[in-house]
Amino acid sequence: MSSSVDRALIVIPAWNEEAALPGVLAEVRAVCASRPELASTDVLVVSDGSRDRTAELARAAGVAVLDLPINLGVGGAMRAGFKYAVRAGYTQVVQLDADGQHDPRAITDLMAAAREHDADLVIGARFAGAGTYEARGPRRAAMRVLAGVLSRVTRTRLTDATSGFKLARGRALPLFATEYPAEYLGDTVEALVLAARAGLTVRQVPVEMRERQGGQPSHGPLKATVFLLRAVLALVVALSRPSQVSTADRGEVATGAAR
């Protein structure tokens, strides 16, 4: 990226999060104010067809809002966010959950890792040393299997493939603005495969993950099995997909070389 100003956008996909969102926005604002490297960072809340006051509260907090008329899922909300970012000329996008699970102070860690490794996609990973968050039982096993396979696909060590705390920049932005998957687990598993097959550099940094405020993740063996099966299906489909992306990418590289 040759742009002189590195403009970052924090995208917060939110679906009926009126309870947690104001707190998260206040925390993000406080963190951005206290770190000079985050001074020029903007915030975008993507209200994913929320039926409560999510969009209203976000506007009241003075941040940009995309109010999707129907629920598209996290992947759909993020693709809208990436489109907004690309059209407004941002060079980095940080995805942050609206439920307070992600600590905004770790955003600088993601940015530092992206610069250090020249990475296009940085995953804020649980189970990587920092924090005490732990999945238990069969779901943990399922997540490990998934992380193992995706580590090979992305040619880097990933311990947490399903984290929603991510930084995308450079070539990842136009790619995600058009191709970000909306399927179940598309925003995590499939997005990683997409990035890897487009030749993007993927890295992870350990982040502390807090318990989400309200709502329990499923830990039962049946749900874990269903989760794993759906994840494997998503993975197999993503891996076997004809890669139009890398073809387009090669075209771009070719024209770039011709110039």
Partner 1 sequence: MSGYVTALVLTVVTVGSIVYLLRARRIREKYAAIWIALAIVVLVIGAFPAVLEWLAAALGVIQPVNLLFLVTGLVLFLVCVQFSVEISQLEEETRTLAEEIALLSAKVDAQAAATQAVAAQAAATTRAALDHPTDGSVAPASATPVDVDDPRPTAPGPTERA
Interacting residue ranges for partner 1, rule: CB under 8 A: 46, 59, 62, 64-70, 72, 76, 79-80, 83-84, 87, 182
Smallest distance from partner 1 to CB 61, Å? 10
Q: Where are the alpha helices (DSSP H) in the chain?
A: 21-34, 54-60, 73-87, 107-117, 137-154, 172-179, 191-197, 221-240, 244-258
Compare residues 68 and 228 and give the one whose CB is closer to partner 1.
68
Closer to partner 1 by Cβ: residue 59 or 117: 59
Closest separation in Å from C-beta 94 to partner 1: 19
Decide whether 63 or 106 has the Cβ nearer to partner 1.
63
121-125/166-169 β-pairing: antiparallel
For 185, list phi and psi in degrees, rounded to 5. Answer: 65, 10
Half-sphere exposure of 241 (CA within 13 A, CB side): 21
HSE toward the beta carbon, residue 77, CA cutoff 13 A: 28
| Least distance between partner 1 and beta carbon 240 (Å) | 17
Shortest approach of partner 1 to residue 129 CB, angstroms? 37
Q: What's the min distance (Å) between Cβ of 226 and partner 1?
A: 22
Residue 182: HSE in the Cβ half-sphere, 13 Å Cα cutoff: 12
- What minimum distance in Å lies between the beta carbon of 41 and partner 1? 15
Q: Which is nearer to partner 1, 1 or 60 (CB)?
A: 60
Name the minimum Å distance from CB 22 to partner 1.
16
Buried b (16+ CB within 10 A) or exposed e, 149-158: bbbebbebeb
Q: Is 125 helix (H, G, I), strand (E, B) or coil?
A: strand
Of 43 and 205, CB closest to partner 1: 43
C-beta of residue 93 within 8 angstroms of C-beta of residue 171: no
CB 120 within 8 A of CB 203: no
Nearer to partner 1, 86 or 107 (CB): 86
The position carrying tokens 């993601």 is 110
CB 66 within 8 A of CB 80: yes
Tell me whether residue 58 or residue 202 sits nearer to partner 1 (CB atom): 58
